[in-house]
Structure formats: C-alpha cells, structure tokens
Chains A and B, each alone.
Chain A
Amino acid sequence: MTSGARSLAGRALLVGALFLTGSLGGCGVLPPLPEPVPSDIVPSAPANLSPAAGGDALSPDGFDAVERMAVRIRNVGCEELSTGSGFAIDDHTLITNKHVVADSKELEVSTYDGHDITVGATATAGLADLAVVRTTDPLPSYPELAKTDPKPGDPVTVVGYPAGGELTVTEGEVISTTRDPLNANLGEVLLTDAPVEPGSSGSAALDDKGRVIGVVYAKTADDNSLLVPLSTLQDMLADDTAFTPAKGC
C-alpha cells in the first residue's frame, strides 16, 4: 500500500470514528441522562371525576327537586272538604286546577315535608281548568317550563297527592292529543297513561328532564290521565286578562 492510500485510510478511519461517536450520541443510541425525580407527582386537581353511585339523587335534604316543588292543597269549602295538588312555578306562585280551588272558604297549602304555606290571592282561568295561587311564604323549589308541548311517546312523570295521601311520583308516556271530553279547556289536551287518582288534580306533569309539560286535571274511565298542555298554560300566564280573582263561597 502506498503512503497516500494509508493516509486516506487513516483519515477515513478517523472520520468514521468521529461519525460513529457523533451518531451514537446524536441518533439516540446513547441513553440520555434521567430527568430529576420530581418531589410531587400528584395532580393538583383530579380531572374527570364522576360522582359516586347514587350521588345524583342527593339534594340539600334528601328530597329531589321533583318532590320539593309539589304542594298539597286542602280546600276548606263552605260545606265540604276536598284535596288537590299543585306545583310552584316561582318563589311565590303555585299552579293548580280551577276545580281544586272552587267554592273555597279557605285554602291550606302544605309542602312535601309537611310545612304549611300561607296563601294569598287566588285567581282562576276562564278558558282552562287552571288556577294561580299566590303565597306569602316562599316555596321551597320550582321547576323550569319545557320549551314545547310533548309528542306522543314522550315520557311523562306526574308528581302529586293522589287521593289526598302521600306525595307520589308516577310515570307513563304521552299517548296523544285529544279534544277535552269535559269541555273544561279551550283547545286540545294531552292524553297520557301515567296513573292518577282524584286528588292528583293540579299535579305537575314533567318530561324526562324534570321540566313542566302540562297540568293534570282529570282521569278517564280507562285509567288514563288528561293534562292541560304546557302551551295552554303559557298562553294563559302570558295573558293578563286570562285569570280573574276566585270567588269564595
């Protein structure tokens, strides 16, 4: 081998060695030094924590909002006693049926936990079986109103005091809309299969999100329930002349 060739080979070897060394480090063959171990690896705010099983049913006193907004109405009439249901729509306003508060000498309202609510003025609608009762005492809770009337097949929950007994929640679904067989309401009413009894009149009918979709006012012979639809309730509430002061006995 000539000296030139040897020199060339030496340079190539040197370059190769340097290349090898550089590439070992540069290409990651050589392991990097470890990062310092952090003193604390616990995240400050755990993310995506879901409530424990059953936690969604808790409320300030163990009763859910559906129960807290329902009231029992005792109509002390001049000659007889009757009971009905109602529900709050704001801090001092109850909705119930006109026939629940009719011929009344005195109305006595109590909440889900037995508290008595002092009642103020009562007004009834002329064109629907609806009444508005103002209360002096604040009401514990009130639901939202739904955006639209429900459609057939939609779930419905009724909260009230059937037969003047315990606060009861029953469920069913909307069957159809129909003409009012009692002619107590202008326009169509809702027919559902949610069980109701005398005393359920004035109960709130709620959708699956707990929003009001109607007001129970009657029971049919085949054990279905009739509701004043939300749209009628909203129309009546929006009309200043729709409700007039109730006449006592």
Chain B
Amino acid sequence: MTEAPAVTAPDPAPASAPGRGRGRGARVLAVLLVATIAVGAYLWVTTVRWQRSSAEWEEKAHGYAEEVASLRMQLDGASSELEAARDQLSTATARITDLANEKAQLGDENVASQQYLDYQTQVSGAAATVASALGQCVSGQEQLVGYLKDADQYEASDLRRYEEQVNELCADAERANESLQQELRP
C-alpha cells in the first residue's frame, strides 16, 4: 500500500486583495476629496467673510476720512480763531500793562502835586506869619518913634524897655523873613 502523498493546502489565494486595495484607495481618495472640499468650503467662507469685513473697514475708513477732513477744516478754523484770540489777548494784556502804568504815573503825579501843594500851603502860611511879624515890627517901631517924639512924657527906662522889645520883635521877624527867603531860593 502506498502512502498517499501528503497534500498541503495552498496558501489562501489573494483572490480579494486587489478589491480591498482598490477599496482602500477609494476611501483614501474619498477622504482626500472630502478634506479638499472642506478646505475649499472653508476658504470660500473665509474669502467671503474677509471680503465683507474688508468692505466694512473700507466703508468705515471712508467715514473716518470724511470726518477727518471735516475736523481738519474745523481745526484750521479753530486754529485761526485761536491765533486771532491770542493776538487779541496779547494786545489786551499790553494795553492793561499800559493802563496800569498810566494809572501809576498819574498816581505819582497826584501825590507829587499834593506834596507840592502842601509845601506851598506851608510856605504861604510861613509868608503870612513873616508878613504879620514884620507888620508888628513896623507898628512897634512907629509906636516907638511916636513915644520918642514925646520922650519927656515917659520914663526913660520904660522907653528903653519898649525899644528893646520892639528890636527883639523886629529881629525875630527879620530871622523869620531870612528863613523864608532861604526856603524860597531855588
């Protein structure tokens, strides 16, 4: 009896391998396609959003540009007014300084005039006093002359005393007059 030859089962034939490979490839492609579509959709949405955002920014920029132009005009106007106001302020402060100085000078002149008036009043008073003293001197001397004409009727000692009094009065008047003349000398 011969032994039957051993038969080994062949390896499982890769009957389905090409199909599975194609299937995997298809899945990969499908995934890539989906990913590409997703990326494309995202890019489209992004583009649309950026376009919209850009348009809004541009609109806002135009608005601000107009506002800037308007503000620049207002600023130019305000600057001109400010410059004019500064000039006016400068003129006003200079005028105030002038007026303050004029007032001060007038005050000085007023005080100086008052002092001069006081001085003149004092001089006039002194002149009146001197004139009065000189008048008394003259009257005294006239009286003395009268007494001397009738010297026999008076005591000699009384006449001498009266003469001394008149001389003293006249000397005082003379000194006062000298002082006044000295004061009046320029």
Residues of A within 8 A of B (CB): 3, 6-7, 10-11, 13-14, 17-18, 20-21, 24-25, 30-37, 41, 52, 54, 58, 61-63, 72, 74, 76, 79-81, 83, 108, 110-114, 161, 164-167
Contacts of B25 in A (CB 8 A): 6, 10
Q: Does B115 contact A (CB under 8 A)?
A: yes
User: Known contacts A17-B28, A34-B49, A81-B115: does B108 contact A74 (CB below 8 Å)?
Assistant: yes
Contacts of A37 in B (CB 8 A): 53, 56-57, 60
Contacts of A166 in B (CB 8 A): 97-98, 100-101
- Within 8 Å by CB of A31, from B50, B90, B100, B115, lies B50
Mark interface residues in B2-42 (1 if CB within 8 Å of A CB, else 0): 00000000000010011011001101100110010011001
- Within 8 Å by CB of A18, from B20, B35, B82, lies B35
Contacts of B35 in A (CB 8 A): 17-18, 20-21
Contacts of A113 in B (CB 8 A): 96-97, 100
Give the CA-CA distance A167 to B35 in the complex, in Å.
87
User: Known contacts A72-B104, A80-B115: does B86 contact A54 (CB below 8 Å)?
Assistant: yes
Asked whether B92 lies within 8 Å of A62 as measured between CB atoms, the reply is: yes
- Within 8 Å by CB of A74, from B14, B46, B89, B107, lies B107
Contacts of A80 in B (CB 8 A): 115
Asked whether A7 lies within 8 Å of B56 as measured between CB atoms, the reply is: no
Contacts of B97 in A (CB 8 A): 112-113, 166-167
Closest to A106 in B: B111
B97 to chain A minimum Cβ distance, whole angstroms, is 6
Contacts of B115 in A (CB 8 A): 76, 79-81
- 21 A-B residue pairs with CB within 8 Å: A6-B21, A10-B25, A17-B31, A17-B32, A20-B35, A21-B38, A25-B39, A30-B39, A31-B46, A33-B45, A58-B89, A74-B107, A81-B112, A110-B107, A112-B100, A113-B96, A114-B103, A114-B104, A165-B101, A166-B98, A166-B100
Give the CA-CA distance A18 to B32 in the complex, in Å.
8
4 A-B pairs besides A7-B24, A10-B28, A17-B32 with CB distance below 8 A are: A6-B17, A7-B20, A62-B90, A62-B92
Contacts of A112 in B (CB 8 A): 96-97, 100
Contacts of A33 in B (CB 8 A): 45-46, 49
User: Known contacts A33-B45, A37-B60: does B100 contact A167 (CB below 8 Å)?
Assistant: yes
Give the CA-CA distance A112 to B86 in the complex, in Å.
19
Closest to B20 in A: A3
Contacts of B112 in A (CB 8 A): 81
Closest to B83 in A: A54
Q: Does B165 contact A (CB under 8 A)?
A: no
Give the CA-CA distance A18 to B28 in the complex, in Å.
10
Number of A-B contacts (CB under 8 A): 115
Kindly list the 6 A-B residue pairs having the minimum CB-CB distance in the complex, ordered from nearest: A114-B100, A3-B17, A34-B53, A10-B24, A37-B56, A62-B93
Residues of B153-185 contacting chain A, CB below 8 A: none
Give the CA-CA distance A165 to B60 in the complex, in Å.
61
A140 to chain B minimum Cβ distance, whole angstroms, is 12
Asked whether A110 lies within 8 Å of B103 as measured between CB atoms, the reply is: yes
Asked whether B103 lies within 8 Å of A63 as measured between CB atoms, the reply is: no
Asked whether B43 lies within 8 Å of A30 as measured between CB atoms, the reply is: yes
Asked whether B24 lies within 8 Å of A30 as measured between CB atoms, the reply is: no
Asked whether A114 lies within 8 Å of B39 as measured between CB atoms, the reply is: no
Q: Does B99 contact A (CB under 8 A)?
A: yes
Contacts of A18 in B (CB 8 A): 31, 35
Give the CA-CA distance A70 to B50 in the complex, in Å.
67
Give the CA-CA distance A249 to B118 in the complex, in Å.
16
Asked whether A41 lies within 8 Å of B89 as measured between CB atoms, the reply is: no
Give the CA-CA distance A13 to B35 in the complex, in Å.
13
A248 to chain B minimum Cβ distance, whole angstroms, is 15
- Within 8 Å by CB of A3, from B14, B28, B103, lies B14
- Interface-centre pick from A37, A161, A165 (highest chain B CB count, 10 A): A37
Contacts of B21 in A (CB 8 A): 3, 6-7, 10
